[in-house]
Structure 1
């Protein structure tokens, strides 16, 4: 039935003006070209050309076939070019899932230069996978997972991107603002503001308060970082966030970081992806750029 070669033949005969010249352009013999079109005409039950003297004139069916060729062939050429780019890692779609609420601020600083460097790659950020990132990664719903808590599964790879310190953030006039570090029991009189995450996923609970048998006076949930830190700055509560994020916001708000415990809480951000995708050029480039951008946010991290 109708194949790409038939469209190429019709298009080139019209462009070149003869079967001989069209055959030369398509790198086939004239007899092979004629045989191919004759067979198509027999299958379709209609003629593509009619001969007028020494020239070939397209029939109504041939005119329609030329119209199809002029529309379809450029699309096929484009598709082949895109598939070649995909195979070489030059073009694609990078879907990023977030399991780290405050990391969105950092991600913006990675995505901006990445889009400039990879103009043929579309980037999508999915924050709804905050509670099911591993499943989304395994199920091909996302390509990269940003998480502070990697869950190692067969077929997945996690790359550490940067270290950071989880700290308590308080208003500048808060009693905690001048101390060297916080003790768990000091949280019993505080309103703790956090993102809408289960407490077993909050470091201040599972690495600081709960091991000491401590809970805050009250726990309040706020979805956005900006509002959360506005509340902290106004003395409405305290929160636990990465030091680099607190340092950034401290340039605009009256807030300060306080170490959680004498040793502090050391954390890492990881990028997780499927092992089968690890050789994709644009994904490798994203990981490399993420690692390069990150250090300027962690310069105040204290070991």
Structure 2
């Protein structure tokens, strides 16, 4: 009764706002698309979408089908792609999702030897997901998730790949540059520069500032690590980053890592995957490579 084309139609109607535009995207005639929707509505006994002027609005039933389409269509697309790869003798594609902004330098050093070892595997990296990192794994948008904050849920497995320390980054001329460690109160007059991530997912907030009831004078977000550290080096703010990354940049920028609190903030980077996919050779090989010390990477940093 319910077919893939119905889910695709609902998805495109929501995206395009009209049957005509949806028909163009799906490469079918408007009359064929309308007929499919009317037949489905008759079978289900409820409207899927309602016309409002020249546009269409999904009903409650249509919204439910839209949610189903968001979950099911990516799985079907992945299944078809994998079967096509099997039929053509290809290895496949590895889609990596990033929830760790500063981990790109580490990832590049892993990807290079991996591509040499697996020449028939394509690697794609995604940072923005329709459902968020965990949802992207469940929704088959990605195959591996790089994250410092794993959520252990049934059907997923997370493997730690390296340890690191989250530190405060200041300019070499900053008064805190010579401190053994900083306390939350030291940041109440600082401009704190972070990646554009919700504050409840930032360690500098949830493990350092908020428990002490402290807020920085100003919070500024920057997407790229290079620009962030250039701002810090010029004395325009402070940031919180992994120590290994700061030490890499310290050789070419006047930036200094300072411990956050007396004991510091210890973190781990994990790779998450669907348990059902762990027997895929090229996926398992990437995880195993990521767990090994690779020259220039922060694996098992003290």
TM over 0.5, shorter chain = yes
Question: 1:1-303 residue pairs with structure 2 within 5 A?
Answer: 83=86, 91-129=91-129, 132-293=132-293, 296-298=296-298, 301-302=301-302
Is the contact between residue 97 and residue 130 of structure 1 (CA under 8 Å) also seen in structure 2?
Answer: no
Cα offset, 1:299, TM superposition: 7.4
Please report the TM-score for the alignment, with normalisation by the length of structure 2.
0.69
Measure, in 2, the Cα distance between the counterparts of 1:158 and 1:138.
13
Secondary structure of 1:200's aligned partner: helix
Partner Cα distance (1:158, 1:80) in 2: 26
C-alpha change, 1:132 and 1:82, in structure 2 (3 Å) is closer
Contact 1:99–1:130 (Cα < 8 Å) also in 2: no
Deviation at 1:81, TM superposition (A): 10
Give the 3-state SS of the residue equivalent to 1:189 in structure 2. Answer: coil
In structure 2, do the counterparts of structure 1 residues 131 and 231 end up closer, same or farther at CA, with 3 Å as the change threshold?
A: farther
Q: Which has the larger radius of gyration?
A: 1
Residue 104 (structure 1) shift: 1.2
Structure 1 unaligned regions, length at least 5: 1-78
8 Å CA contact retained: 1:85, 1:91: no
Q: Per-residue displacement from partner, 1:106-147 (whole Å, max 9, x unpaired)? A: 111111111111000010000113970100100111000000
TM-score in terms of structure 1 length: 0.69
SS class of match (2:292): helix
The alignment partner of 1:128 has SS state of coil
Distance in 2, Cα, partners of 1:100 & 1:254: 24
Deviations 1:162-208 (A, max 9, x none): 00000001111110111100011000010000000010000000000
Aligned residues: 221
Deviations, residues 205-237 of structure 1 (Å, cap 9, x unaligned):
000010000000110011110100000000000
Q: Provide the alpha-carbon RMSD of the alignment.
A: 2.2
1:291 deviation in Å? 1.4
User: What corresponds to 1:46 in structure 2?
Assistant: none
Provide the C-alpha distance between the structure 2 equivalents of 1:80 and 1:207, rounded to a whole number of angstroms: 45
Contact map agreement 1:110 1:293 (CA 8 A) in 2: no
The 3 A distance-change label for structure 1 pair 259 and 299 is farther
SS of structure 2 residue aligned to 1:256: strand
The residue number in structure 1 matching 2:41 is: none
Contact kept? 2:222, 2:228, Cα under 8 Å:
yes
Runs of 4 or more, structure 1, over 6 Å off, are: none
Residue 99 of structure 1 contacts residue 131 of structure 1 at CA under 8 Å; is this kept in 2? no
Deviations 1:246-279 (A, max 9, x none): 0111111110100000000000000000000111
2:85 and 2:217 map into 1 onto residues whose CA distance is 58
Q: Assess, with a 3 A threshold, how the Cα gap between structure 1 residues 220 and 131 changes in structure 2: closer, same or farther.
A: farther
Which runs of 5 or more structure 2 residues have no equivalent in the other structure? Answer: 1-81
